[in-house]
Amino acid sequence: KQEVTQIPAALSVPEGENLVLNCSFTDSAIYNLQWFRQDPGKGLTSLLLIQSSQREQTSGRLNASLDKSSGRSTLYIAASQPGDSATYLCAGRISSGSARQLTFGSGTQLTVLP
Amino acid sequence: NAGVTQTPKFQVLKTGQSMTLQCAQDMNHNSMYWYRQDPGMGLRLIYYSASEGTTDKGEVPNGYNVSRLNKREFSLRLESAAPSQTSVYFCASSEHTGGYEQYFGPGTRLTVT
């Protein structure tokens, strides 16, 4: 069974800093991995979807990487801003199974201090 | 486009009561999902519907039933609520199952006393 882990559970950084959020998964037969942002009391907003055939995916100040062999994905946030404060969740799909359902990590709560 | 909408936003139930959570999407997606989110446990899939007319169990289906009313709407029913079902419930949709990006609704915060 695929397990997805995100460490640390919480992170606090000063504004302007570049930062990396980590996501590890146990099943290297991963089909793709999706990063989400969740604001307090809100739903999930999809940030990036990275396929197993890709190594990186970029959107604005965000860059996600995927390394199947090491079982890791990272989300890089450049020049962080207070508005980036939120919980970031990663979720992976394994290749087997008819529906390739998402398995979520517990998230990293990011606080960017002004 | 409203995306994925859910009603109600908040609900308090007594143990043993029943209720239905409603979800609708306007993106013409084929697949829809129900998740629950509990502190420290991430989101877990309850049920999903790959296409209109089909439903399948996810990781934690016990105590729930679902109905795919039409392509737009997917409801989740708690027949006899228990305190263990206190959670935040999210509905999501995607173009198809498999590797497609999922889009989430704002959630329903349910408390069972």
Measured between CB atoms, does A50 come within 8 Å of chain B?
no
pLDDT at A98 over 80: no
Partner A contacted by B101 (CB < 8 A): yes
Q: How far apart are CA B21 and CA B24, in angstroms?
A: 10
For A:68-97, CB contacts with B below 8 A are 89, 91, 93
The model's pLDDT over B15-51, given as tens digits with 9 standing for 90+, comes to 999 999 999 999 999 999 999 999 877 899 999 999 9
Note whether A42 contacts B: Cβ–Cβ < 8 A.
Answer: yes
Q: What percent of chain B has pLDDT over 90?
A: 85
3-state secondary structure of B90: strand
pLDDT band at A95 (very low <50, low <70, confident <90, very high): low
Task: Please check whether residue B78 is in contact with residue B8, taking contact to mean a CB–CB distance below 8 angstroms.
Answer: no
Q: Is the CB of A31 less than 8 angstroms away from the CB of B99?
A: yes
DSSP A38-62: E-TTS-EEEEEEEETT-SEEEETTE
- Tokens representing B41 are 């446990």
